[in-house]
């Protein structure tokens, strides 16, 4: 890492650890740590471990102060610090915090993002990219919209195109979607709802083409609100989980194991005649037309579990 971005798309890693670190993150206005921030996913961790020799370095306290100031400006939160090892988290509240810091001239926000594109031979940028998944559709740029389609829809087409020749006939390919593809989910913006709709449409076409060409089954799981790292990027996942528990026919929190069980079924011979299908794994929330917590339901004496 010197003058060019590392060759990975934005948000590629859940953790970055600089062990016995001799990278001068505080130099050049923090351009190297900003690049590390580009690579971290929402709620990802940055671990910094300074070499033991730095304990006696009279300049280290100054370096540490500069590093803390930089990470604070980037809206990272220091969650652990012992001797010369520190851990920061890039929280999902970062976008709103960054925009506020940019207004106060504390940090610079990039004008254009390239979240879905590999960064071969791209110069380092001394600014911070803000994820636009919560941006309203009317405020989404053409590039942001196309990036969402590329990352969440065409990436699956490309993957299947690449691996189809080596997948054994009769096997299965599965992807994940969300009900925002067909229903309005306020706050799920940046073109992501359109991208999920495209992914579901592509799944049906791929089911036909891959089925005829290699006898491969192609299905997609529409999972309900789940406490995953990816879901935290939208910023209101806890609210969606509470809504699901209150309104779904099965009043319970969805688990990753339940989604995994559905995927295991679709991948197994038990689903040998199922292809081109959207399988809802959401405790039945997709079937609801009106929420139980809606005023219209207040006088219907609907059974509700206490949580």
Query: Is the pTM of the predicted complex or chain greater than 0.75?
Result: no
Considering the domain architecture, whether residues 189 and 270 belong to the same structural domain is answered as yes
Cα separations in angstroms, 154 against 60, 110, 200, 263, 275: 47, 25, 11, 21, 19
Considering the domain boundaries, does residue 14 fall inside one? yes
The torsion defined by the Cα of 181, 186, 187 and 192, in degrees rounded to 10, comes to: 20
**In terms of residue numbers, what domain contains 28?**
1-131
For 195, the 3-state DSSP assignment is: helix
Give me the number of domains the chain comprises.
Answer: 2
Residue 218 pLDDT level (bands cut at 50, 70, 90): very high
The pLDDT, as a whole number, for residue 116 is 45
Considering the domain architecture, whether residues 64 and 86 belong to the same structural domain is answered as yes
Considering the domain architecture, whether residues 143 and 190 belong to the same structural domain is answered as yes
Domain boundary among 131, 152, 184: 131
Look at 76-85, 112-121, 218-227, 279-288 and tell me which has the smallest mean pLDDT.
Answer: 112-121
Task: Round to whole Å and give the CA distance between 92 and 90.
Answer: 7
Residue 232 token pair: 């935290």
DSSP 56: G
Domain boundary among 82, 106, 131: 131
Q: Is 178 a catalytic residue?
A: yes
Residue 20 CB coordination number (10 Å): 11
Which pairs with CB-CB distance under 8 Å and at least 24 residues apart come from 261-268? 262/221, 263/174, 263/221, 266/172, 266/174, 266/217, 266/219, 266/221, 267/171, 267/172, 267/174
Tell me: pLDDT of 267 over 50.
yes
Question: How large is the average pLDDT for residues 126-140?
Answer: 74
Strands (E), the chain: 13-18, 40-49, 76-82, 85-90, 172-177, 217-223, 278-281
Considering the domain boundaries, does residue 302 fall inside one? no
Question: Each residue of 221-232: pLDDT tens digit?
Answer: 999 998 876 666
Say which of 45, 48, 156, 178 is annotated catalytic. Answer: 178
Contact 187, 139 (CB under 8 A): no
Task: Round to whole Å and give the CA distance between 247 and 134.
Answer: 23
Question: Each residue of 32-62: pLDDT tens digit?
Answer: 888 888 888 878 899 998 877 676 777 778 8
Domain boundary among 131, 154, 173: 131
> How much is the mean pLDDT over the chain?
85
Considering the domain architecture, whether residues 159 and 237 belong to the same structural domain is answered as yes
Considering the domain architecture, whether residues 146 and 52 belong to the same structural domain is answered as no
Considering the domain architecture, whether residues 267 and 148 belong to the same structural domain is answered as yes
Task: Round to whole Å and give the CA distance between 107 and 125.
Answer: 12
Considering the domain architecture, whether residues 49 and 127 belong to the same structural domain is answered as yes
Question: How large is the average pLDDT for residues 131-160?
Answer: 83
Q: Is 280 a catalytic residue?
A: no
Considering the domain architecture, whether residues 94 and 26 belong to the same structural domain is answered as yes
Considering the domain architecture, whether residues 141 and 75 belong to the same structural domain is answered as no
Residues in the chain: 307
Residue 263 token pair: 């995927």
* 108 vs 225, higher pLDDT: 225
Say which of 48, 145, 188, 280 is annotated catalytic. Answer: 188
Residue carrying structure tokens 């990975």? 8
CATH of the domain at 6: 3.40.50
Considering the domain architecture, whether residues 163 and 263 belong to the same structural domain is answered as yes
Considering the domain boundaries, does residue 307 fall inside one? no
Considering the domain architecture, whether residues 82 and 99 belong to the same structural domain is answered as yes
Task: Round to whole Å and give the CA distance between 31 and 2.
Answer: 10
């Amino acid at each position: 890492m010197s003058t060019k971005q590392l060759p990975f798309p934005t948000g590629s890693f859940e953790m970055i650890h600089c062990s016995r670190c001799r990278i001068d993150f505080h130099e050049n206005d923090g351009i190297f740590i900003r690049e590390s921030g580009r690579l971290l996913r929402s709620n990802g961790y940055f671990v910094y471990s300074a070499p033991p020799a730095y304990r006696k370095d009279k300049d280290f306290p100054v370096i540490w102060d500069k590093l803390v100031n930089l990470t604070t400006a980037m809206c990272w939160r220091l969650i652990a610090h012992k001797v010369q090892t520190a851990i920061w988290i890039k929280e999902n509240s970062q976008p709103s915090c960054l925009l506020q810091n940019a207004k106060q001239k504390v940090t610079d926000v990039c004008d254009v993002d390239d979240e879905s594109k590999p960064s071969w031979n791209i110069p380092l940028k001394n600014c911070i990219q803000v994820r636009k998944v919560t941006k309203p559709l009317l405020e989404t740029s053409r590039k942001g919209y196309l990036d969402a389609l590329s990352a969440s829809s065409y990436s699956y087409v490309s993957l299947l195109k690449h691996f189809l020749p080596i997948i054994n006939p009769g096997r299965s390919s599965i992807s994940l979607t969300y009900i925002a593809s067909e229903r309005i989910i306020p706050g799920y913006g940046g073109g992501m709802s359109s991208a999920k709709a495209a992914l579901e449409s592509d799944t049906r076409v791929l089911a036909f083409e891959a089925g005829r060409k290699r006898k491969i089954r192609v299905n997609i799981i529409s999972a309900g609100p789940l406490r995953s790292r990816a879901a935290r990027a939208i910023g209101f996942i806890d609210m969606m989980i509470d809504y699901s528990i209150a309104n779904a026919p099965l009043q319970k929190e969805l688990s990753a194991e339940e989604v995994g069980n559905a995927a295991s079924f679709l991948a197994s011979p038990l689903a040998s005649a199922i292809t081109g299908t959207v399988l809802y794994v959401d405790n039945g929330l997709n079937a609801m037309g009106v929420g139980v917590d809606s005023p219209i339901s207040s006088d219907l004496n609907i059974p509700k579990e206490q949580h």
